[in-house]
A and B are shown apart, each in its own frame.
Chain A
């Protein structure tokens, strides 16, 4: 993943992870795996882990520790009401941004074409 992709993803990854959790609860590795399936191929597990910690501290998810056969218990994350509200806002913001940027893109392309 290029540097620019990483930079752009930073602001949206919380929303993306909450969107994934809105489908079903998951633990860290599952979330990373699903992100990779969605085409975010080089995403680091640690980045997702840090993000999960952050959204947990902000009260957007509920966490349950589930024992695993080996190693420490797995923390399973479930989106809660506050997280749901955050996700709604995320989608509104996303649509707004995507629409504006697309308009800007078209306007610049048109201007360039007229200029030729």
Chain B
């Protein structure tokens, strides 16, 4: 479906709907899973750094994230078994799985290119 002109301003409506569906899934989680999921979500929003241009990656990540917690809630897996003893490390590892399109990649590429070009000049 072609994007409508107003989606240029508002962002994709399909993405918005998908995001709302995700939000509803998290809101429906029983405790303590709901609180845990929301705490990680907050951390992702600060730290995720996923490119604005790539909402698809973000949505894939959030849906996988919702799958994980819904599964845990159904199986009654203790939160501790899901996140291990270091929640920050878990959050980083989880987000890193989707890190293919992070804003920092641009800077990584720039750094790599600059240094490569340097080496080229050093060859005599």
Which chain A residues have a beta carbon within 8 Å of chain B's beta carbons?
A: 6, 28-29, 42-47, 49-51, 53-54, 57, 68, 70-72, 74-75
Contacts and interface: CB of A to CB of B under 8 A. Distances in A.
Contacts of B71: 28-29, 71-72, 74
A6 B121 CA distance: 41
Q: Looking at chain B, what size class is its interface with the partner chain?
A: 20 to 34
A115 B64 CA distance: 57
B97 A50 contact: yes
Given A45-B81, A49-B94, A57-B97, 20 more contacts: A28-B71, A42-B85, A44-B82, A44-B83, A44-B85, A45-B72, A45-B77, A45-B82, A46-B94, A47-B93, A49-B64, A50-B93, A50-B94, A51-B97, A53-B64, A71-B75, A72-B66, A72-B67, A72-B71, A75-B67
Contacts of A42: 84-85
A38 B101 CA distance: 34
A65 B90 CA distance: 24
Task: Name A's interface SS.
Answer: helix
A50 B85 CA distance: 16
Q: Which of A43, A45, A70, A72 lies at the interface centre, i.e. has the most chain B CB atoms within 10 A of its CB?
A: A45
Nearest to B99: A54
15 contacts: A44-B82, A44-B85, A45-B82, A46-B83, A47-B84, A47-B93, A53-B64, A53-B94, A57-B97, A71-B73, A72-B66, A72-B67, A72-B70, A74-B71, A75-B67
B98 interface: yes
B96 interface: yes
Contact of A46 (B73, B84, B96): B84
Contacts of B49: none
Nearest to B85: A42
Contacts of A72: 66-67, 70-71
Given A53-B97, A53-B98, A46 B74 contact: no
A49 B89 CA distance: 13
Contacts of A46: 68, 82-84, 90, 93-94
Q: Which of A46, A54, A70 lies at the interface centre, i.e. has the most chain B CB atoms within 10 A of its CB?
A: A46
